[in-house]
């Protein structure tokens, strides 16, 4: 079905050539790659459009030193092809960015997918034409694709944000962003570096940059709970036992709350233990601290479900910081206070706290005086000036909705998705939004997405979409869209299950809630009910002939 039609196209536009395909997929990370493979396998013609010059999404862009996945490699990999699982050898338990990028390039070449990916091209607009029930997708390179279906595989953390700091453009040194890191890498030898942000990116980069730079200043607005990341080379026996029965392992993943089967035990116990921190005397808590270090805070069943218990766990965590950091003032500045453990996505680092014992690392606690401006020679705060050669922004993303809202997505009646979502994203199952027929979102807001193993969530979504498109084709139908009532019910359910959890505590300000973006409505974006319950619901909807959706 792929072909170039000139001038008057089915999309109704007449100003240039339009390429017709069955499905346009936006993005070539884990989600876009599998969408291409799976939908092509089902007989659809697919065009993938990717901004980067290579595949990988998150693992293509975030090239900062120390970038690493916090889910074990055997868990964080595709299960759709047994041949692929058998032939690929992971070298580390927790894969580094480079290894994941290599893996995804292997997948793309192995299944001959590259020929249908257009690289170095950003999608700027997607417009639905009701008369033809087709999407017109336009790019910054002037391409125009027309397709009945559009799959947004745009990622949950792919729209970087850089705060509007006065004077940023006046800086005479180099400005870097962790999520847009230069491909050739950066040599910090002999340089004074200012790193802003202490989320996962800042925490992973800190010890790496500290080893190289003349001096590293870490500008911290909120002290983080950083747990020691598991590091280790892959045990060949473990990999062998995985390969002996990967099907069983993949089934267990989909039955696990967060899509992680716990294979090899690298993430500790899968279920929270029975004991309660609120019923444990401090001396006994300290014994657990002696044994488990920072992980002690997670060794009680009540820490993640009860705010008082959570604060007890946080105090134990702070005790471990005091034990780790030489300077008591620095230890106090690094101690997270005022928000629960787990309300923000857990951060995993290697030697993060230890880096602050180095002579060439200074913590700048912004609670004692915020950043006021960037000067030509450094960073000015209310507590003084810091002269640096490089400023690095590790300041995060407009999560879950940012990448979609940066595209002019116009559905029925010309309505813009970002306007419709101005008060908060609304979807049915995180897959589709009312008013936007035939537009699918992979791991969209309202699905387990970032609260589960992304690869498992992605595979499940791609397969659901594939089944749906095949169903429409088999039944001679051309469009699908949620009903408003079903969408409202789902949004209410998503909100309901998040109520009373750590995630929505009044003291919590996370990107899950959009709280890191000025003006973004405070709405809890992912679905916290767990992957198994979600899959059960999504499967039931499909089995009932796509109940809650309008098919035409
Ligand atoms: P995060 O987790 O959103 O972290 C961003 C960090 O940047 C965080 O410490 C922020 O402080 C800080 N930040 C943001 N804006 C500013 C300004 N204006 N001044 C000072 N500090 C600021 O992004 P990451 O890239 O680290 O990680 C994103 C996800 O990737 C992570 O959760 C994993 O899923 C992988 P704040 O806490 O808002 O006070």
Provide DSSP, 416-473: BHHHHTTTS---BTTTB-TT-TTEEETT-TTSSGGGS-HHHHHHHHHHHHHHHHHHHH
Going from the Cα of 348 to the center of ligand 1, the distance in angstroms, rounded, reads 14
Band (pLDDT 50/70/90 cuts) for residue 268 is low
Confidence of residue 305 (pLDDT cuts 50, 70, 90): confident
SS3 337: coil
Q: Is the pLDDT of residue 7 over 90?
A: no
Which pLDDT score, from 0 to 100, does residue 2 have?
A: 37
CA of 224 to the centre of ligand 1 (A): 10
- Higher-scoring residue by pLDDT: 301, 12: 301
Query: Which residues form the pocket of ligand 1, taking CB atoms under 6 Å from any ligand atom?
Result: 157, 163, 196-202, 219, 221-222, 345, 366, 371, 394-397, 511, 516
Could you read off the pLDDT of 124-180 as tens digits, one per residue? Answer: 999 999 999 999 999 999 999 999 999 999 999 999 999 999 999 999 999 999 999
Half-sphere exposure of 360 (CA within 13 A, CB side): 18
3-class state of residue 203 by DSSP = helix
Look at ligand 1, atom 18, and give the residue with the nearest C-alpha.
Answer: 163
For 470, other C-beta atoms within 10 Å of its C-beta total 14
Rounded to an integer, the average pLDDT of 242-260 is: 95
**Helices and strands, number each (H, E), in the chain:** 16, 23
Ligand 1 centroid – CA 162 distance (Å)? 10
Index of the ligand 1 atom closest to the CA of residue 62 = 25
CA of 396 to the centre of ligand 1 (A): 4
| Beta carbons within 8 Å of 121's beta carbon, 6+ residues apart | 49, 50, 51, 139, 140, 141, 143
Of 94, 178, 197, the residue with max ligand 1 atoms within 8 A of its CB, to mutate for a pocket test, comes to 197
Strand, helix or coil for residue 364: strand
Q: Residue 384 forms beta bridges with which residues?
A: 381
Measured CA to CA, the distance from residue 376 to residue 252 in angstroms comes to 55
| Minimal-distance CA residue to ligand 1 atom 4 | 199
Q: Counting atoms of ligand 1 from 1, which one is nearest the CA of 165?
A: 18
Return the exposure string of 425-438: e unless at least 16 CB atoms fall within 10 Å of the residue's CB, then b: bbbbbbbbbbbbbb
Going by alpha carbons, the residue nearest to atom 38 of ligand 1 is 516
DSSP letters along 222-282, please?
Answer: S---EEEPP--BPPHHHHHHHHH-HHHHHHHHHHSTTS---GGGTT--SS--S--GGGS-H
444-461: pLDDT as tens digits: 999 999 999 999 999 999
Pairing label, strands 149-152, 23-26? parallel
Per-residue pLDDT reduced to its tens digit, 68-125: 999 999 999 999 999 999 999 999 999 999 999 999 999 999 999 999 999 999 999 9
The values of phi and psi at residue 183, to 5°, are -65, -30
Beta carbons within 10 angstroms of residue 278's beta carbon: 13
Cβ neighbours of residue 90 closer than 8 Å, sequence gap 6 or more: 73, 74, 77, 99, 103, 234, 239
Secondary structure string (H, E, C) spanning 469-510: HHHHHHCCCCCEEECHHHHHHHHHHHHHHHCCCHHHCCCCCC
Q: What integer is the mean pLDDT of 333-362?
A: 96
**What residue owns the CA closest to ligand 1's atom 35?**
200
487, burial (CB in 10 Å: exposed 0-12, middle 13-18, buried 19+): buried
Cβ(275)–Cβ(301) below 8 Å = yes
Strand 371-375 relative to strand 378-381: parallel, antiparallel, unpaired?
antiparallel
Residue 9 pLDDT more than 60?
A: no
Q: Name the residue of 178, 374, 516 whose CB sits within 8 Å of the most ligand 1 atoms, as the mutation to test its pocket.
A: 516
Mean pLDDT of 380-396: 98
Atom 33 in ligand 1: which residue has the minimum CA distance? Answer: 200
The answer to which of 262-266, 397-401, 462-466 has the lowest mean pLDDT is: 262-266
What is the rounded CA–CA span in Å between residue 118 and residue 122?
Answer: 9
pTM for the model: 0.95
């Amino acid at each position: 079905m792929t072909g170039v039609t000139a001038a008057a196209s089915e999309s109704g536009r007449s100003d240039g050539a339009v390429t017709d395909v069955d499905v346009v997929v936006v993005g070539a990370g884990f989600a876009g790659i599998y969408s291409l493979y799976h939908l092509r396998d089902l007989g659809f013609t697919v065009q993938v459009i990717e901004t980067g010059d290579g595949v990988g999404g998150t693992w293509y862009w975030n090239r900062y030193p120390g970038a690493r996945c916090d889910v074990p490699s055997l868990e964080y990999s595709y299960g759709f092809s047994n041949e692929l699982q058998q032939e690929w050898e992971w070298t580390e338990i927790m894969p580094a960015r480079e290894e994941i990028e290599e893996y995804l390039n292997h997948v793309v070449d192995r299944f001959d997918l590259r020929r249908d990916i257009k690289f170095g091209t950003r999608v700027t607009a997607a417009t639905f034409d009701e008369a033809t029930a087709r999407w017109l997708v336009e790019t910054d390179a002037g391409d125009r694709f027309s397709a009945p279906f559009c799959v947004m595989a745009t990622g949950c953390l792919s729209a970087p944000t850089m705060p509007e700091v006065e004077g940023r453009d006046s800086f005479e040194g180099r400005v870097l962003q962790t999520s847009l890191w230069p491909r050739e890498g950066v040599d910090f030898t002999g340089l004074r570096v200012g790193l802003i942000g202490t989320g996962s990116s800042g925490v992973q980069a800190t010890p790496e940059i500290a080893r190289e730079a003349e001096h590293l200043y870490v500008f911290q607005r909120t002290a983080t709970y950083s747990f020691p990341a598991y590091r280790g080379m892959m045990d060949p026996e473990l990999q062998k036992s995985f390969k002996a029965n990967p099907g069983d392992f993949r089934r267990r993943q989909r039955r696990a709350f967060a899509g992680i089967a716990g294979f090899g035990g690298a993430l500790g116990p899968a279920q929270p233990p029975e004991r309660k921190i609120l019923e444990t005397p401090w001396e006994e808590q300290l014994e657990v601290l002696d044994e488990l270090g920072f992980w002690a805070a997670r060794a009680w069943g009540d820490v993640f479900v009860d705010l008082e218990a959570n604060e007890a766990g946080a105090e134990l965590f702070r005790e471990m910081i005091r034990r780790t950091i030489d300077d008591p003032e620095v230890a106090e500045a690094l101690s997270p206070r005022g928000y629960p453990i787990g309300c923000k996505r857990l951060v995993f680092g290697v030697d993060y706290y230890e880096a602050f014992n180095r002579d060439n690392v200074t913590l700048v606690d912004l609670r004692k005086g915020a950043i006021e401006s960037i000067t030509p020679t450094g960073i000015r705060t209310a507590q003084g000036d810091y002269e640096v050669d490089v400023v690095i922004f590790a300041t995060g993303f407009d999560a879950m909705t940012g990448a979609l809202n940066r595209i002019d997505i116009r559905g029925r009646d010309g309505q813009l998705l970002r306007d419709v979502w101005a008060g908060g994203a609304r979807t049915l199952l995180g897959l589709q939004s009312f008013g936007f027929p035939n537009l699918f979102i992979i791991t969209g807001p309202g699905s387990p997405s970032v609260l589960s193993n992304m690869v498992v969530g992605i595979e499940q979504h791609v397969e659901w979409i594939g089944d749906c498109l095949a169903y429409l084709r088999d039944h001679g139908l051309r469009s699908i869209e949620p009903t408003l009532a079903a969408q409202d019910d789902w949004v209410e359910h998503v909100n309901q299950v998040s109520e009373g959890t750590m995630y929505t505590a009044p003291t919590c300000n996370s990107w899950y809630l959009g709280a890191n973006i000025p003006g973004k409505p405070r709405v809890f974006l992912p679905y916290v009910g767990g992957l198994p319950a979600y899959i059960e619901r999504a499967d039931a909807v499909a089995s009932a002939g796509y109940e809650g959706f309008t098919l035409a």
